[in-house]
Amino acid sequence: MSTKPLPFSKFIWIPIMIAALATIMMAVDIHLGSKKVYGGAVCTFIAFQAWAMYFMAGCNIKDGIRVLLGYIGGIAASIAIIELATLDVSVKYMGDYKFLIPVFLVVILVICAERVPMIDFVPAWFVSAGMYFAMTNFWGTGTESTFEFHQSIALAIIVSCIWGLIFGFVTVLLRGIYEKMVRSSN
């Protein structure tokens, strides 16, 4: 059974609701400013990506967990690449190319994750890894390999991901309630 699209006069309230949620997310970010939350800053740009990943993964709690596990996997993959690339032998013999072999090896493992249930949402791995490397370049030189440095970036990404997933869940919940209410009143 297919459901007819809502008339625009009823549909418009869905974008307004999502815009209100996005505004709330931004207001919280402004309020927190550079304060630390659970060891890492809440990064709204990461939360927005996780919000979108929630929709791409399937819009339910199980798929939200898959996204979160993918983000954690992407963080682990990024740390592995950085650690392998900053080994003395890599730095000494590979110079500017020191990331090539670690990237090659780690990406093989990441792609193999698509064969393992619950960690198979590989797009989240890549988005998270991209965010991890962006954050290392933003917060440091991109080649730090200290536990505290990795921990601060990892926590920022994980907390921000969870924040975005919560907004994805709330969006789906509110939209479902609204559409059910509108359709039952017809």
Average pLDDT per run of 10 along the chain, which is 186 residues long? Answer: 84 97 89 55 87 97 98 97 84 82 96 97 97 80 70 90 97 97 89
Question: Domain residue spans in the chain?
Answer: 40-174
Task: Please choose, from the candidates 95, 55, 59, 85, the residue with its C-alpha nearest in 3D space to the C-alpha of residue 145.
Answer: 85
Helices (H), the chain: 8-11, 13-32, 44-57, 61-85, 88-94, 100-112, 122-139, 147-184
Single-letter residue type at 22: A
Confidence (pLDDT) at 147 = 82
pLDDT at 105: 96
The reported pLDDT for the residue numbered 38 is: 42
Tokens of 166: 């919560």
- How far apart are the C-alpha atoms of 87 and 159, rounded to whole Å? 29
The answer to whether 46 touches 160, Cβ cutoff 8 Å, is yes
User: Which residue from 51, 81, 53, 50 is spatially nearest to 145, judged by alpha carbons?
Assistant: 81
71-80 in b/e form (b: 16+ CB < 10 A) is: bbbbbbbbbb
Sequential DSSP letters for 30-51: HHHTT--BTTB---HHHHHHHH
Helix (H, G, I), strand (E, B) or coil at 1: coil
So what's the pLDDT on residue 41?
A: 60
pTM for this structure?
A: 0.88
